[in-house]
Amino acid sequence: MDVEYLFDRALVTAPRYAVAEWPRQVQQQRTEILVVGGGAAGLAAALQAARHVDVTLLTREELPTSNSAWAQGGIAAALDAEDSPTLHVEDTLVAGAGLSDPAAVALLTRTAPRLMRELAGLGVPFEQEAGAFVLGLEGGHSRRRVLHVRDATGWALTSTLIERARSHPRIRICEGYQAVDLLDDLGCCAGVLARDSRGGRHRFRAQATILATGGAGALYGLTSNQPNALGEGVALAFRAGAEVADMEFVQFHPTVLRTSADQGFLISEAARGEGGRLLTPGGQRFMPAYDPRAELAPRDVVTRGIFAAMQRAGVDHVLLDLTHLPVDYLQRRFPTIYARCRAEGFDLAVEPVPVAPAAHYLMGGIRTDLDGATSLPGLYAAGECACTGVHGANRLASNSLLECLVFGRRAAEAALNAGEPIRGFADARRPDAWYYPVTATPQSRSMPAPEAGHRVLAQIMRRYAGPLRSGAGLEEALRRLAAFPNQATSLDAQALTLTNAALTARLIVTSALLREESRGAHFRTDFPTTQPEWQVHTVLSRGQAPFTVTTVAAMELELALA
């Protein structure tokens, strides 16, 4: 099924640029490959490209602030004698609910074993016994295949990559730089406009740009993500004309502890892999009655099971019970989780801990081919901001860091082999060709101030675009999102962030409203079943009115991206 039409429901226009006017006085900088984002995908891309050319790496915060660094569970790879990449493919496709691209999944899983051995050789201290990797079991996996560094795998991985990047003579790291807009050059991406932490303005020109800006979980407020994971890279790409896909698929991690500071702290999937049980506040186990895989079902299934249990009991949490495990094992296997729970007043060894689902991962993002190339020449994407086709409607646990590494490297190789520099790259006589100011769109009088905007945005997303959605709720979300700015009227960092975050929120809500079925992480209470005719990818692109929506049949995705 191939359908193309204009989506004309309650949407505000999306101007080409996030800021209405950009000062003429900016610092001009050049690089061959520009990488935006300092998580696993951005670091992998930078290190790969730096084998051949000079690379500039921009990061919003200081390294290692990223979702990658917070990842607890591990990295999936078929290394056990009873496992194989084929089985890993099968598990990934099942979790993806019919929307994973088999070619992308096969590429991911076949690369994984060799890559894990390479990372161990670089110094990532994966747990081993008698010279063999210790492999964990997580939800949705049919075999033990998750390599881990206790419960701090992301930190161990990114720390190793950061050390190598900082010492690399061809990598220049610019920390504290906020990417504001992508540069234009006659239909090609030519770099980014950026703001540094002191308010300085910079134009980074590049032969190729790789976005690795991470996910959007912080749009929901309660999340396992970093506070700045607001999907800004997706908004940048969409404004510039790149296609985005599958934005309706937001994964909610089933077991997140709400901290005393009203933030989310993730209790790893691996805790259930080690026998953790989910109980009602009254102490009754409920997942076996909800799904035969019980606590080891895919994340979307466990999340809905928890929601159903909370609704029946009229509570806002359930309990995760790990008291069957010895205290010394908990302290050794989950030191970070154990210590954080103790700090919050819970002892995992003697009592269950209260948990609830929270926003965790964006399966959709900037649409790419298998080499990270987007629909916009000169622009590549990798990691959580990209939609490579691997995750489909629901990501399999511990495939995210793997995807960052595999496709971050591939994006770098594709950027290196893109051919001749884009038009105007070396032409210093045409500085104004890189940016075309547009008139700011009039704003609603009810527009929230930037300081309150993020809180209001999170309330809208949690209420109307969470794990359980309806057409009426999503339409109400779009009406409320119409009050948010389409463009920032200044170069204030908070205003710029809110502008792009609100656009990404609109993309998620629009895609969720379009998909009139339930599949994977997307559940519509008014369309509660999965429909064969909706085995399609929703692709959004910025058009004339205000964006064009194309649905592409899943089995044709590989050809469409070729």
Do 547 and 407 reside in the same domain of the chain?
Answer: yes
158 shares its domain with 170: yes
Average pLDDT in the chain:
86
Where in the sequence is the domain holding 264, given as residue range(s)? 253-359
Selecting among 145, 203, 299, 542, the annotated active-site residue is: 299
Which residue carries 């700045």 as its tokens?
228
Please tell me whether residues 338 and 384 are part of one structural domain: no
Are 239 and 265 part of one and the same domain? no
Helix axes 400-416, 102-122, angle to 10 degrees: 90
Predicted confidence at residue 449, as pLDDT, reads 67
Cα(183)–Cα(198) distance, integer angstroms: 21
* Domain termination site, one of 341, 359, 377: 359
Tokens of 133: 């990797």
* Coil/strand/helix, residue 392: coil
User: Which of 327, 344, 359 represents a domain boundary (last residue)?
Assistant: 359
More confident residue, 516 or 421: 516
Report the pLDDT averaged over residues 229-251. 95
**Does 178 score more than 50 pLDDT?**
yes
Domain count, the chain: 2
CATH of the domain at 308: 3.90.700.10
Residue 128 and residue 11 share a domain: yes
As a whole number, mean pLDDT of residues 273-279 equals 93
> What is the reported pLDDT for 70?
67
Distance CA 20, CA 486 (A): 10
| Token code pair at residue 34 | 């520009």
Residue 447's pLDDT band (cuts 50, 70, 90): low
Domain shared by 99 and 127, yes or no: yes
Q: Which two tokens stand for residue 252?
A: 């909610």
Q: Are residues 387 and 519 in the same domain?
A: yes
pLDDT number for residue 430: 30
Residues 80-92: tens digit of each pLDDT: 999 999 999 999 9
- How many Å apart are CA 496 and CA 123, to the nearest integer? 38
Is 309 in the same domain as 453?
A: no
Query: Please, is 204 exposed, middle or buried when counting C-beta atoms within 10 Å of its C-beta (0-12, 13-18, 19+)?
Result: buried
Per the listing, tokens 């937001």 go with 250
- What are phi and psi for residue 33, nearest 5 degrees? -120, 130
Question: Is the same domain home to 378 and 300?
Answer: no
Per-residue pLDDT, 138: 84
* 290-319 per-position pLDDT tens digit: 999 999 887 788 998 998 899 899 998 999
Residue 492: predicted pLDDT: 87
Note the pLDDT tens digit of each residue in 182-197.
998 888 999 999 999 9
Q: Are residues 132 and 115 in the same domain?
A: yes
Letter for the amino acid at 451? E
In this predicted structure, what is the pLDDT of residue 68? 75
The per-residue pLDDT for 225 is 85
The answer to whether 525 touches 468, Cβ cutoff 8 Å, is yes
The reply to whether the predicted model has a pTM over 0.85 is yes
Question: Which phi and psi (to 5°) does residue 231 adopt?
Answer: 70, 25
Residue 114 among the catalytic residues = no
pLDDT digits (tens, 9 = 90+) for 118-165: 999 999 999 999 889 999 988 789 999 999 998 788 888 999 999 999
Q: What is the pLDDT of residues 6-63, one digit of tens each?
A: 333 333 357 788 887 776 778 999 999 999 999 999 999 999 999 999 999 999 988 8
Same domain for 395 and 505?
yes
Could you say which of 317, 332, 359 is where a domain stops? 359
Decide which of 562 and 353 is more confident: 353
What percent of the chain clears pLDDT 70, i.e. is strictly above it?
87
Q: Are residues 16 and 2 in the same domain?
A: yes
Helices 471-481 and 493-514 pack at an angle, to 10 degrees, of 150
273-280: average pLDDT = 93
Q: What is the CATH number of the domain that holds 9?
A: 3.50.50.60
For residue 325, the model assigns a pLDDT of 94
Q: What is the Cα Rg of the chain in Å?
A: 22
The C-alpha torsion from 307 through 308 and 310 to 312, rounded to 10°, is 160
